[in-house]
Amino acid sequence: MKFLHTSLTVRSLEASLRFYTEVLGLEFERRRAIPENRAEIAFVRDPESGARIELTYWEGKGTIDAGEQLDHLAFEVPDLDRFLAAARAKGARVAKEPYRLAGGSGRLAFLLDPDDVWIELIERPPASA
């Protein structure tokens, strides 16, 4: 398993992108809408460590209550079905069963940690030869 990123819920994608790039010096990587979730995301990266933050704007979410800023932690797993079976055997709670986003090539699923923090599991497709 490989740690990929931390996702933060933001009130304004533009203001957050300015803060993380101009104030903190992170590098902009990419941005895209996710219509089926009524969300838009953008990734910024620390050029020194490679650590990534996913900034998530939820359309229609006017306020963010204390504790809602952390959206999820993301991990890449080589075999999503195998990982979920092992996690379930250890008592893990699955919040979302495996699915694909429109236009995406990988599969996603979500677990809940003991405090209900969402843990995203991403299975990327095998590299083409």
Residue 120 annotated as catalytic: yes
Closest alpha carbon to 73 in 23, 18, 3: 3
Helix, strand, or coil (residue 91):
coil
For residues 105 and 96, is the Cβ–Cβ distance under 8 A?
no
Q: Is 47 left (phi over 0), alpha (psi -120 to 50) or beta?
A: alpha
∠ CA 101-87-110, rounded to 5°: 25
> Pick the catalytic residue: 22, 59, 120, 123?
120
Just list the catalytic residues: 120
